[in-house]
Chain A
Amino acid sequence: MLTAAGGLEPRLTWNLVQDVRQTLEFPFMVNAFRAGFIVAVLSGLVGWFMVLRRESFAGHTLAIVGFPGAAGAVLIGVSATYGLFAFALVAAVLIGVTRGSGGRGYGAQPAVIGTIQAFALACGFLFVNIYGGFLSGTTALLFGSFLGITPDQVAVLAVVAVIVSIVLAAIARPLLFASVDADVAQARGVPVRILSITFLVLLGCAAAEVSQMTGTLLVFALLVVPAATAQVWTPRPFASAVLTVVIGVCVTWLSLFAAYYSSSYPIGFFLTSFAFAAYLLANGWRRLRDHPASRPGALV
């Protein structure tokens, strides 16, 4: 974690208060912490439903399409943020509509999703090639960066996060119903198909937000892992959703802190490592707790 060179490099003093204060002296770090908070809260809420609905593959694909989105936006000279959102939304609607009359939440039509993902990656590579000099930015697009998040970007993130959260809160209960029990929900008049498409759009927004921190390849760090960890921890829906957000925010801030003091390692690495550690911890704890009963079907 420590860089030996000293001088202008940030140094970890092991005095936590002073370290945090030092981190927050720079506006770019304050922006990063703000953006990280927004992204972690949103991805926690949306990710919780994604894990419950077994739609991780769709979530991953919606993040991947951000790569050609951002590359294409830069190519035509607009902000990468717009490209990320535009592509993610189009892909979300595409996946939602082609899912068709099958309508069941559980991993329907992985072939269509896979096809979209492959095509998106190819397009992204093409755009990067056409642009030529863009190559150094490609790594940031794929694996994330916390440097250079502008206040404007934070504002965009916040607005999108608030809108997505409000919509998600409005549909939370019927979405939960449709996710665990689509047939019964439909018989009770829940618009299962509309909810499914709506959720994919929300997921697209969340993926576009997260990929600005983690890059398009590592969105799982914030979309999947905190939710999966929290659901291992408790089967109470509300409690595990709250826990998801808490884990997400902790992991994100911890990663920003760590990445600041070791600028040679990318933020995405810390995010995934800390999230993975939390997941291992939760599973280890549950194994220990469930051990005397040793119930069958306990998934690692």
Chain B
Amino acid sequence: MTGLTEPRAPVGKVVPTAGPAQIEARGAAVRMADFTLWSGVDLDVRAGEFVAVLGPNGVGKSTLIKVLLGLIPLAAGTLTVLGEQPGSPNARIGYLPQRRSFDPALRVRGIDIVRLGLDGHRWGVPLPGARRWSSQARAKQARVEKVLHLVDAQDYAHRPVGQLSGGEQQRILVAQALAPSPELLLLDEPLDSLDLPNQSAVAALIARICRDEGVTVMMVAHDVNPILSYLDRVVYIASGGAVSGTPAQVITSETLSRLYDTPIEVLATSDGRLVVVGQPEAPAHHSDRHAV
């Protein structure tokens, strides 16, 4: 979104020099059953950017992620993801769905969960001894160990995943999404249900992966503050539409007031956190945000 003057949010990061477009949307709209969730959404995400999708509950943030994955079709407009029409499932996109945690009784190791991210879509039986004779299996093993190291999960990767803490499970899932070396990571509220120290730790981890591995990250977030200092761009969805730009452009009283068509104030605390006041709740017809 352009035309905004005097960005004032206290954020330090500048949008990097534009890489190739990873996500490009023009006038995108989604209809669920008999109402339009959002429409007229324009979006440009460039390679290596860290993008947050913000907005109140139930406006269709998760739906945006599913549209990018090709799980939900567009009702209008155009969209390309990694230069292709969304819908062809591929290893170039890593996905971490909005999550409940794993069942505590699930007796499968974290490392198995990560490995499924690498080859879980392939038919056949995973044989544990395969790396003795197959160089391909050894390469897979090395890749799994590398992503476990990236998220710092080596110590508990051999424990049953159901017994891990929320933060540990989230790291395992990030490793799973990273396993096939994706160019784009779509994360749906990965900080949800984590305590504050874990929120900032996982946020820092994702930012580091974005920077060091050159992976484009698009993260749905309920609260922008844990990731604010890492963000290149935010997409703010309100009922009906969306604006996108740098955090300094979007998270302002002016932009949000215009988006919601109601007075909204963005307050900055002394430590640089942002508080949005007066944000209306989601429309009532979309009560179950987990359903779509």
- Hey, which bits of chain A sit against chain B, CB under 8 A? 52, 54, 106, 169-174, 176-177, 180-181, 183-190, 231-232, 234-240, 295-299
Contact of A180 with B95 in the complex, beta carbons under 8 Å:
no
Contact of B107 with A231 in the complex, beta carbons under 8 Å:
yes
Contact of A174 with B120 in the complex, beta carbons under 8 Å:
yes
Q: Which residues of A contact B176 (CB under 8 A)?
A: 181, 184
Contact of B71 with A184 in the complex, beta carbons under 8 Å:
no
Q: Which residues of B contact A299 (CB under 8 A)?
A: 104-105
Q: How far is the CA of A298 from the CA of B109 in the complex (A)?
A: 14
Interface string of B99-114 (1 = CB under 8 A from A): 0001111111100110
- Give the Cβ gap from B245 to chain A, nearest Cβ, in Å: 28
Q: How far is the CA of A142 from the CA of B126 in the complex (A)?
A: 37
The binding surface of chain A is classed by DSSP as helix
Interface string of B106-138 (1 = CB under 8 A from A): 111100110011011111111110000000000
Q: Which residues of A contact B122 (CB under 8 A)?
A: 173-174
Most buried by A among B97, B108, B109, B159: B108
Contact of B69 with A190 in the complex, beta carbons under 8 Å:
no
Given contacts A169-B124, A176-B116, A235-B159, contact A188 B89 (CB under 8 A): yes
Can you list 25 contacts pairing A with B, beta carbon distance less than 8 Å? A170-B124, A172-B124, A173-B120, A173-B126, A174-B120, A180-B108, A181-B113, A181-B116, A183-B95, A187-B71, A187-B97, A188-B89, A188-B120, A189-B90, A190-B121, A232-B107, A235-B107, A235-B108, A236-B109, A236-B112, A236-B128, A237-B126, A240-B107, A295-B163, A298-B163
Given contacts A184-B117, A297-B163, contact A189 B104 (CB under 8 A): no
B96 within 8 A of A: yes
Q: Which of A54, A190, A297 contacts B120 (CB 8 A)?
A: A190
Contact of A173 with B104 in the complex, beta carbons under 8 Å:
no
- Give the Cβ gap from B96 to chain A, nearest Cβ, in Å: 7
B167 within 8 A of A: no
Q: Which residues of A contact B177 (CB under 8 A)?
A: 184
Q: How far is the CA of A97 from the CA of B104 in the complex (A)?
A: 29
Most buried by A among B108, B112, B113, B116: B116
Most buried by B among A181, A185, A186, A298: A181
Q: How far is the CA of A39 from the CA of B116 in the complex (A)?
A: 29
Contact of A239 with B71 in the complex, beta carbons under 8 Å:
no
- Give 13 A-B pairs besides A176-B108, A180-B102 with Cβ atoms closer than 8 angstroms: A54-B103, A173-B125, A174-B123, A181-B116, A181-B120, A183-B97, A187-B95, A190-B120, A232-B107, A235-B107, A237-B109, A238-B128, A239-B128
Q: Which residues of A contact B90 (CB under 8 A)?
A: 189
User: Which partner residue on chain B sits nearest A295 by CB separation?
Assistant: B163
User: Which partner residue on chain A sits nearest B97 by CB separation?
Assistant: A183
- Give the Cβ gap from A35 to chain B, nearest Cβ, in Å: 25
Q: Which of B69, B104, B108, B123 contacts A187 (CB 8 A)?
A: B69
Contact of A188 with B126 in the complex, beta carbons under 8 Å:
no
Q: How far is the CA of A100 from the CA of B176 in the complex (A)?
A: 28
